[in-house]
Structure 1
Amino acid sequence: MTDQFSSLLNSTLDTLGYSIENISLRAKVSKTVKGMCSERCTKQFGLKLLSAGSKAEGVSPIFASDEDSMLVYTDYVCVDFGDIGNGIYVIMRYLDESPPGYIKLRPLGARNITALPWLLIFSMYVTNLDIVLLSSMSFRNFLTLIYSRLMPYLGSANKVSKVSGPALALTVNRCMLNHVFSSDIYADIVPALPYYSSSILEQWKDRKRLYEWPTTDTIKEVSTTEGYVVPVGHKQSEEQNFEWRVCYTTGEQKLLGSLNEVQIKLYVLLKMINSCVIKGQVDCLTSYMIKNIVMWVSETCRTGTFTPDNLSRVVLQSLAFLRNCLLYSNFLPNYMISDRNLLFGKVEVQEKLKLGKIIAELLHEGEHIFLRCEKLKNAMFIMCANPALAFRFRAWRNEIEELFLFAHVNIFSKIKPDMVLRSTFSYDLLFEYMKDKSFVETVIRLFNLLSIDERTLFGNGFQSFEDIDKWLDRLFS
C-alpha cells in the first residue's frame, strides 16, 4: 500500500465533488432550505423541519439520494422528570427496563387545550403496567393517514406511502404547469418529539477518551443539544408498540461537521464500498452504521492518522473495526448511546456471517478494493492519464453544482405559505422566478454550461427536463 495511491485517491474524490468545500456547501444549503421551511411550519403548525441523513451531512450529492427530514412537534416536550407545563404539553419518561436507547412515554397533561386532543389519540391504558402510555405504533399509523390526505391539497399525487422503521417513506408526483411536466419526489419523513435527558448526554460527555477527537469545545457544544424520540420500538421487545427510540440527530451533525477532510472522505469511501460491493451481496449495513463506525474510529485514533497519504489505510482499519464488531464482540455500539447495539435485531446470523466473509475478502485485497467502484476507478484512471482534463472537469462540475444550489435556495425562498394551496401555485411561482433577474441569469448560465438549447427545451413542452434530471444525477452521483 503506497502513500502515492492514497494521495491519488484523495485527489480523485475532490474531482468527483467530495472536497471539504463541496461537502460543506451542500450541508449549508440543505440546512438553509430546511430552515426556511421550518420557520413557516413552526409559525403556522407548531412544527420544526430538520434536514437529516446524508443530504444534511453534505456527503451525498444533490441528486444522489432521497430527501430525509425529521418533523419535530414543538408543542410537546419529553423529559426524564417533570411536571405539567404552561402552554406546552409535558411528557415524562416512564422509568422501566426498556432496551438501551429506547424509552416509554407517559403524558402528564397540559394547559394548552389545543394540543391535548392530539396526544389523547395515541394514549393507551396498559393493563399489566396499570398506567397510561403513548403508543408509538398508533402515532406512526395515524401520520400515514394524515399524509395520504394532505398530499392532494399540495398539488401532489401520493403514489406510495409506507412505514419503514420510524420513517414514513413517501413517493409523490408533483405535477407542474397543468401536467406539462411532472416528476417523482422521494422522501423519508421521521416524526419526532423533543427530548431532554441530562443523564444520557452527561454519560456521553464524561466518557474517557484517549485522543484529540472530538475536541473539548465540540464535546461541550454537543452535550447541550436537544435529543429526540421517534416512534419505533425495539424489534425483539414484547412492548415495542409503546417504546420510542432516542436519537441525537443535531448532535451527530455537529460531530460530523467537526471531522477533518480525510475523516469525511473516509465516510464517503465506506458508503461507496457498501453501495458498490457489499450491498449487492448482503443488504444489512446501513448508512447510520457506517456513520457510527467513522465516529468511533475517529475517536480511537490520533488526529495525525487522518492525512491524505494515509486515506486507504484508515478505510481498511475501519473495515477491520466492523469485522471485529461482527465476529468477536457481536456488538456495534451507538456512538451517542454506547449501550445500544446497532447490530441487535438489525443483522441476522446468516447476514452477519456473510458480511464478515465479504469484509475479510476486502481486507485481503487491500487498496485494490477501491477499483471495484466503477466511477471511482474511471476517475482515477483519468487523473493519471490526463490531469489537465480532470482539473477542467472538476472546475466545470463545481460551477454547475454551485449554480444549482444557488437556484435551489432561491426557489424555496420564493415559496410563501399562502401560495401552496392555490390552484395556480405553479404559475404564481414561475412568475416570481421571472421577476428575479439573478435567478434568471443563474438558469441561463446553467443552460449554457450544460449545452442546453432553450428554444428546443421550451418548444418540447418541458419534456426534456426528465432527461436533464437523469443527466445531472449521473454528473453529481
Structure 2
Amino acid sequence: MADGGNRRNVTGEVTKPGVSSRHSLIQYEHAATETCTLMDFMGYGPHIRQARRDAYKTVDRLMTALMCGSATCFTTGSKAEGLTCFLESDIDVMCVDNNVICIEEGVDSSNILKETTILRACSQKSYPGHCILLLERSGTTITTFVHNALCDDGYDHELLSSALYINAWLNFKRTEGAVILDRVGPSTPSTYYGGTLHQDLVHALHLYCPSILTRWAARPRNWPTNNIVQKVVSLGTVVTPVGFKGSDYEHVEWRLCFNAGENVLVNNLTDIMVKVYVLLKMVKQDVLKPRKKEVTSFTVKNIVLWIAEKTPQSLLHERSLFQWLHEGLYALRVAIDTKELPYYMIPERNLMAACALEHEQKLSWIATINDMIEEGPIMILRLPKIRRALIAHPEPLRWYSGRRIEMEMLELIAMNRGALDMDEDTDVIMVAVLTRKADIMKEVRDRMITEGCRENNLHDLYHSMLL
C-alpha cells in the first residue's frame, strides 16, 4: 500500500468523497453557494474574467501586428485565463517564429513554402512529450537565432539545440528599462518599471503533429463539446526550448506544448470548475508552499481538466463546489503519493516524473491534504485570501471590490493604450484613466484613514489594489 493509505487510480479518474448525512449535505451546499458569491466579489466572477481575457487578447493582436508577420505573440497562463489581477502574477507570453515549421515523422513536407525552414521532430529517444529537431531544409528567411543554434549530431545531420536557442534569446537586447533575469525552464524572464511588472517570455516554434491531436480528440469524454475540441485541434502545437530533466539529450530536446488550446479549454470550463481551479491553486501556493516547483499551477490545471472531462456537466453546479474541491484534493494527493499525473494532452507524459519531491515532504503534504478533506468547508479558512475576504464580508468587501475591479479595468485600458503608443499627457482616454485612478486611490485611502488605518502612501496603495 502507498504512503498514507491512498488507493491507486485509473488515469484521470478520482473517487468522489461522500457526505455523511442529509444535514451535512445541506451545510456543504450552503457553504458552497456563499463561497462562490465571495469569490465573485474577490475578482473571480465570469464578467471580470472575460474582461481580463479580452484585454490581453487585444495586446496580443497589437504585439503580433508589430512583428509584421515574422512571429505570432499570445498571452498564456493565468493572465490569459483571466484569473489574476494586473500585478498579481507574472505575465506569461509566448512568441512563435513564423519562419520555421516543425513536422512530426511521416508528414509530407513537399507542399511547404520554400521560404520556410523545415525541422523534422524525432521522438524515439526522448521522453513522451519531448522531441529532437533535425534540420530537413533551410528556408530563405531563416533567422539568426535558429541558424546559430544548429549543431552536428555526429551522424552528418544538423539538429537544433534548445540550449543554444534559448541562450541566444537571453543575450538579445530587450525594450529599454527591461531587466533580464536568469533562465527559468524554457522562459527568458524580465522585469519592467523598477521590478513592478514581471514577464516570462517563451520563444517557441510551430509543430505540426496531427497524430497526437487526433488521438486526443478521439478520446471518449463528457467535456469539452465537439466544437471546442475542434478549435483546440485547429490551434495546433508548439515546441519550446527545454528538454526532459536528467535526459542524456536534455540540451537538444524540445518540449511539446499546447498553450493556445489549453487557454481555450480553461476558458470553457464551467464557472464552478474555474473556482475549484482557483482554490486548488491557493492550496498549492499558501498551504503546501512548494520550494522547488514540486507541484505547480500547471499540475493543478491538469487535475481540473481531467475531472471536467470525466464528469457529466450537469453535476457541476454552484452547490457542488466543495464536492469537486474534494475531488481535486484527492487527485492531488494521489499524484503526490504515486508521483504520477498524466498530462491532459499527452497522457503518456507523467507531469510528476522529474519533480524533486522528498519523502518527508511527501508524507507531510499527504497528511495536510487528508486533514483538509476531513475538515469540510471550513478548510477554506486555511487560505489567506479567502480568510481576509470573509473578515471584510459583506459590505466593506462589496465596497472595496467594486473599486478594486474598476482600478484593474482602468489599468487594462491603459495597458492597451500604451501598446498603441498613446501619450498619457495628450491622449484623452489616457488622461481620463489616470484621473479616475487617482480619484479611486484617494477615495480608498480616505476610508482607510476613517477606519483607523495610518497608511497613506498612494504608491503602496496602488500596488496593493492590483496584487
TM-score, with length taken from structure 1: 0.83
User: Which residue pairs with 2:72 in the alignment?
Assistant: 48
Residue correspondence of structure 1 range 332-343 to structure 2 within 5 A? 332-343=341-352
Aligned length: 425
The alignment partner of 2:365 has SS state of helix
Alignment partner for residue 166 of structure 2, among 140, 145, 170? 140
2:275 corresponds to 1:246: no
User: Which residue pairs with 2:414 in the alignment?
Assistant: 407
2:180 corresponds to 1:166: no
Alignment partner for residue 216 of structure 2, among 191, 204, 217? 204
User: Which residue pairs with 2:450 in the alignment?
Assistant: none
The alignment partner of 1:74 has SS state of strand
Residue correspondence of structure 1 range 54-203 to structure 2 within 5 A? 54-80=78-104, 81=107, 82-83=109-110, 85-112=113-140, 114-115=141-142, 117-127=144-154, 131-146=157-172, 150-151=173-174, 154-156=175-177, 158=179, 160-172=180-192, 174=193, 184-203=196-215
User: Which residue pairs with 1:297 in the alignment?
Assistant: 307
Q: 2:183 & 2:292 partners in 1: Cα distance?
A: 22
Q: 1:157 & 1:295 partners in 2: Cα distance?
A: 35
Q: 1:199 & 1:144 partners in 2: Cα distance?
A: 33
The alignment partner of 1:356 has SS state of helix
The alignment partner of 1:317 has SS state of helix
Residue correspondence of structure 1 range 204-283 to structure 2 within 5 A? 204-209=216-221, 211=222, 213-279=223-289
Q: 1:410 & 1:111 partners in 2: Cα distance?
A: 36
Alignment partner for residue 13 of structure 1, among 23, 39, 46? 39
Q: 1:379 & 1:157 partners in 2: Cα distance?
A: 35
Q: 1:106 & 1:281 partners in 2: Cα distance?
A: 36
CA contact (8 A) 1:196 1:227 kept: yes
Q: 2:219 & 2:391 partners in 1: Cα distance?
A: 44
Structure 1 472/373 Cα, relative in aligned 2: closer, same or farther at 3 Å? farther
Q: 2:78 & 2:139 partners in 1: Cα distance?
A: 39
CA contact (8 A) 2:135 2:160 kept: yes
Q: Residue 74 of structure 1 aligns to which amino acid in structure 2?
A: N
Q: 1:338 & 1:399 partners in 2: Cα distance?
A: 41
Alignment partner for residue 56 of structure 2, among 17, 24, 30? 30
Structure 1 53/438 Cα, relative in aligned 2: closer, same or farther at 3 Å? same
User: Which residue pairs with 1:471 in the alignment?
Assistant: 461
Q: 1:398 & 1:317 partners in 2: Cα distance?
A: 31
Structure 1 94/469 Cα, relative in aligned 2: closer, same or farther at 3 Å? farther
Alignment partner for residue 324 of structure 1, among 334, 341, 344? 334
Q: Residue 399 of structure 2 aligns to which amino acid in structure 1?
A: R
Moved more, 193-202 or 347-356: 347-356
The alignment partner of 1:223 has SS state of helix
Q: 2:325 & 2:292 partners in 1: Cα distance?
A: 20
User: Which residue pairs with 2:5 in the alignment?
Assistant: none
Q: Residue 67 of structure 1 aligns to which amino acid in structure 2?
A: I
Instruction: Tell me the CA shift for residue 306 of structure 1.
Output: 1.9
Structure 1 115/282 Cα, relative in aligned 2: closer, same or farther at 3 Å? closer
Moved more, 373-382 or 218-227: 373-382
Structure 1 14/355 Cα, relative in aligned 2: closer, same or farther at 3 Å? same
The alignment partner of 1:29 has SS state of helix
CA contact (8 A) 1:42 1:48 kept: no
Structure 1 13/115 Cα, relative in aligned 2: closer, same or farther at 3 Å? same
Q: 1:238 & 1:405 partners in 2: Cα distance?
A: 44
Q: 2:113 & 2:136 partners in 1: Cα distance?
A: 9
CA offset digits 1:263-285 (Å, max 9, x no partner) = 11111111112221111688521
Structure 1 157/217 Cα, relative in aligned 2: closer, same or farther at 3 Å? closer
User: Which residue pairs with 1:461 in the alignment?
Assistant: none
Instruction: Tell me the CA shift for residue 390 of structure 1.
Output: 3.4
Q: What runs of 5+ residues in structure 2 fail to find an aligned partner?
A: 1-26, 445-455
Q: 1:401 & 1:120 partners in 2: Cα distance?
A: 42
Q: 1:297 & 1:356 partners in 2: Cα distance?
A: 20
CA contact (8 A) 1:88 1:110 kept: yes
CA contact (8 A) 2:217 2:233 kept: yes
The alignment partner of 2:331 has SS state of helix
Structure 1 41/352 Cα, relative in aligned 2: closer, same or farther at 3 Å? farther
CA contact (8 A) 2:117 2:139 kept: yes
Instruction: Tell me the CA shift for residue 362 of structure 1.
Output: 2.0
Instruction: Tell me the CA shift for residue 200 of structure 1.
Output: 0.5
User: Which residue pairs with 2:23 in the alignment?
Assistant: none
CA offset digits 1:366-410 (Å, max 9, x no partner) = 222210122311322333xxx344333333333222222222222
User: Which residue pairs with 2:430 in the alignment?
Assistant: 439
Residue correspondence of structure 1 range 328-367 to structure 2 within 5 A? 328=338, 330-350=339-359, 351-367=361-377
Q: Residue 300 of structure 2 aligns to which amino acid in structure 1?
A: I
CA contact (8 A) 1:282 1:354 kept: no
Alignment partner for residue 390 of structure 1, among 397, 413, 427? 397
Q: 1:280 & 1:288 partners in 2: Cα distance?
A: 13
Q: 1:104 & 1:9 partners in 2: Cα distance?
A: 47
Q: What runs of 5+ residues in structure 1 fail to find an aligned partner?
A: 175-181, 416-428, 454-465
Q: Residue 54 of structure 1 aligns to which amino acid in structure 2?
A: S
CA offset digits 1:96-139 (Å, max 9, x no partner) = 23211001111112341x41654332112122x55321111111
Instruction: Tell me the CA shift for residue 86 of structure 1.
Output: 1.6
Q: Residue 313 of structure 2 aligns to which amino acid in structure 1?
A: T
Q: Residue 407 of structure 1 aligns to which amino acid in structure 2?
A: A
Instruction: Tell me the CA shift for residue 349 of structure 1.
Output: 4.1
Instruction: Tell me the CA shift for residue 204 of structure 1.
Output: 0.2
Instruction: Tell me the CA shift for residue 183 of structure 1.
Output: 5.3
Q: 2:52 & 2:91 partners in 1: Cα distance?
A: 13
Q: 1:448 & 1:268 partners in 2: Cα distance?
A: 31
CA contact (8 A) 1:296 1:335 kept: yes
Q: Residue 399 of structure 1 aligns to which amino acid in structure 2?
A: E
